[in-house]
Amino acid sequence: MSEHPGYRIFVLGAGFSQPAGLPLAGNLFEKVVQIIENQYGRKTKFQTDLDEFKRYARDTRTSLDLESFMSYLDIEHYLKLRGSKTFNEEGNESQIMIRRAIGKIIQIFTPSAEALPKVYYKFVEKLRPHDIILTLNYDLILERVLEHLGIPFRLFPMRYSEVSDDFAIGDSSKDEIIILKLHGSVDWFDEREFRHMQNKLEDFDGRVVTHPVFSDPNKYQASPIVEGPRFPDDNLKNIYRIKKIDEFYIEDTSFEAPFILAPSAIKFVYAKPLMEFWHGLGRAGAANLGLSVIGFSLPSHDEYIRILLFKIAENYKSLWNTPFLNTLKEEIKVIDFRKNQNEKNVLLERYSFFHSSEECFWFEGFNEKSVNFLFKKSRK
């Protein structure tokens, strides 16, 4: 059997990370509160905000969960309801505490490359150059497996050989897998606020502001997530990845948080630094040879993801019987865990716009058998 040429799209949700033992969103709230209380105590702005939200949830019959709490905080911050008491552009105090706590929890629960379940190695070994992974997860499971196996990958959409103010020449000289972390990552840090405060303080009285990552980039081996020439206004240049991530979460006691879009119904309002990931993504699919979703149940509050998947799926269905690189497109596949037929029907309804038969759904969660299902060719 000839090797698949790649050019497939894989969309990953929290269910992809569950075999590694990472907590799902519903289990995060209690752990987040515990982490924050252990580090800062109970007399904090976080506790004040949490008590206020509990009153709001009681009086408005809003769910008392992490996503609802973050939505409340995001709206307060984005609309600057505090006025001059708004903490900074990255968020108010509670938002930053929560992002940092989420980062620490996920890193604590993420196994080392050697300890990760075999299902991840089986999945990664079947990937090919030019496959695209759109992940909604913050963890480092994929990066650890790929690096352990020595498989090249990049964390940004396009590589360029030359860039000017209004055009760029693409660089396709490297065969690599593309991973776009649409909601950020536990090992990413945005330097913009630090540089802003640094310049502001230096202009004011010569004082210097410090940052655990950017004051000494070598300490945790920080480097930009992008490589090569970039457009001058490319915000991705401000996002850095640190390699010594375990050391950071063990040693650092600062108030700095990783760049992640925390669980919230309006998280996308903080996506500006990652807009290069989203730019033109709604035109993807037509020239791809596979489209699969793993571990993402498509809840109603993630309408922006539903719109994205709808657009990609519509594009994907075009040129259906036209071979590309001597290969036909495969049926759209969905992997998720469902306990009974009622739950299966809910998932089928949510993804009805895929127009895929039930045979294209795997309801036993992400496991080694599901990898066989995922990569099995059904169209010759």
**Does the pLDDT at position 207 exceed 90?**
no
Which pLDDT belongs to residue 201?
Answer: 66
321-361 pLDDT per residue, tens = 999 999 999 999 999 999 999 999 999 999 999 999 999 99
Write down all domains in the chain, each with its CATH number in brackets. 8-22+115-185+275-375 (3.40.50), 24-109 (no CATH)
pLDDT digits (tens, 9 = 90+) for 80-116: 999 988 888 888 999 999 999 999 999 999 999 999 9
Q: How many CB atoms lie within 10 A of CB 293?
A: 26
pLDDT of residue 87: 82
Calculate mean pLDDT across residues 62-89: 92
Q: Name 263's Cβ contacts closer than 8 Å, sequence gap at least 6.
A: 25, 28, 66, 67, 70
- pLDDT value, residue 322: 93
Q: What is the pLDDT at residue 89?
A: 84
**What mean pLDDT, rounded, does the chain reach?**
93
For residues 159-165, give the mean pLDDT: 90
Q: What is the distance between the alpha carbons of residues 16 and 337, in angstroms, rounded to a whole number? A: 10
